[in-house]
Amino acid sequence: MNEWLGILLQVFLIITAIAVVMHQNHFTIIILMSVFSIIAATLYTINQAPDVAIAEVAINAAIIPLIYVIAISRQRELIVYDKLHHQQTKPNQKLEGDVYLYLQRFSQKHKLKLNFCHDLKVSDKVIFQDLNVDVLIDRDKRNDQFVLKGKSSNVLMKKMMKDLKANERVRFEMVEEGENLD
Amino acid sequence: MIRKWMSLPLLLIVFFAFAIALTDYENLYVDTARIFYQTYGYLYTGSLNLVTAIYLDFRLLDTLFEAGILLVAVTGVSYIAQHDQVEHNPLFMLDKFKIPELFVSLARIIYPIVLLFGIYVVFNGHLAPGGGFQGGSILATALLILYYIDLKKKTNLQLIFTIEKVLYLLLISISMISFLTRGEWFTNFIPLESNLLLKSVFLIALNLIIGAKVALGLTAIFISFLKEGR
């Protein structure tokens, strides 16, 4: 009985492993990975290694998915640092002005969550180096222009620059990222 | 750099070496160690779970280095994730990160049960499958669930690191007492002839320390992920 169960579970293990590689949706992959580790833990128990099975379930089916969920939901945000400070908006409130409307459309197009923040008192370079802010909004008073700044290493920023070239009221600047040790 | 075609003969050499080593069947499967642990494991250490008997008594030195590896890993993660910005509003990234209501209300029910189960696994490490590492990771799961319930929870990371380092020193010092009582480094400090129940005191103490250390270490890694780049 246990032999056949073992063989069946090994087949399931291979199927789940292939599904993890082939699937597109990140959150489904996380669920599949914890399914994988639960099947593996059952196999360990069948082969008389309950200690290893407990460690497998606790780490690979519980802790690592929790960490992945945080890490992936981080990547789905467009973080905008608003230097002008006149907008304390929540994402479902109506945004006003050209730049804000554009940012909202841009984030909807790329399926990102728009996230504003405005209470850091540090220089521009430090913001891009130490914090993962994507876009910075500033205002040029002489030309009456909005100035958007973005990291040159970010792929999305290049698309944004292309979009904004025609617009006269907005200027886009790339900020070079300092060489990091890592 | 190894070129691509060079890896093929290298693989073949490794494969042949492995195949030659497998032919020496009788020397590979020596079960003297298994017989020794099965007959004397319980009598020497007072641990019904032979895995615990090995990692907390016969091979305690290995366990110390394993705990050290976790300490180094936690230190490395915290070093990479650190930044010295003053956080005026440290939650500006997470306030819009929505967690389903179902998950939160289920987590509230599950949290005390997971906590209790983790403590049970740590305390019964020498009697049933489990032990410090397994129980510690279950405890860490419980602590992580707490962060999903209440995202605004604030933790002093430096305090966690300090406690973890102190626990590691405690682990080393407790395992070195045996030199005074038995004349042997890194083993149970209660004399060999004494009662088996008395011996399990040492096992419970070490399992507790390892469990607390692992739980705090994994939580610290999670929190530094949560804080990274904010």
| ipTM, two decimals | 0.79
Among A21-35, A63-77, A133-147, name the most confident range. A21-35
Same domain, residue pair A145 and A104: yes
pLDDT at A54: 92
Structure tokens at A16: 């789940």
Nearest residue on chain B to A129, alpha-carbon basis = B229
Give yes or no: residues A106 and A143 share one domain: yes
Residue A132 is nearest to which of B131, B145, B229, comparing CB atoms? B229
pLDDT class of A91 with cuts at 50, 70, 90: very low
Contact A177, A152 (CB under 8 A): yes
Is the pLDDT reported for residue A127 higher than 80? no
Q: Are A113 and A162 part of one and the same domain?
A: yes
Helix (H) or strand (E) holding A170: strand A170-175
Q: Are residues A10 and A69 in the same domain?
A: yes
Q: Which of these, A3, A1, A33, A5, lies nearest to A17 by C-alpha position? A: A33
The answer to the question of residue A182 being in a domain is no
Q: In this structure, what token pair is assigned to residue B82?
A: 């650190």
How many domains does the structure of chain A reveal?
2
- A70/B83 CB distance under 8 A: no
State yes or no: pLDDT of B96 exceeds 50: no
| CB atoms closer than 10 angstroms to residue B195 | 10
* Beta-carbon separation of A55 and B133 below 8 A: yes
**Residue A18 sits in the same domain as residue A29:** yes
Residue in A with minimal Cα distance to B226: A70
Asked whether the beta carbons of A80 and A103 are under 8 A apart, the reply is yes
* Structural domain span for residue A35: 2-74
H or E stretch including A172?
Answer: strand A170-175
- Determine which of A37, A48, A51, A57 to mutate to test the interface with B (most B C-beta atoms within 10 Å): A51
Q: B222 contacts in A (CB within 8 Å)?
A: 63, 66-67, 70
Domain co-membership, A30 together with A8: yes
Confidence check: pLDDT of A96 > 90: no
Residues of A with CB under 8 A from a CB of B: 50-51, 53-55, 58-59, 62-63, 66-67, 70-71, 73-74, 77, 79, 90-91, 113, 115, 117, 119-122, 126, 130-132, 182
Q: How far apart are CA A176 and CA B146, in angstroms?
A: 39
CA distance A60 to chain B (A): 10
> What mean pLDDT is predicted for residues A116-135?
67
Report the SS3 class of residue B164: helix
pLDDT of B92 > 50? The answer is no
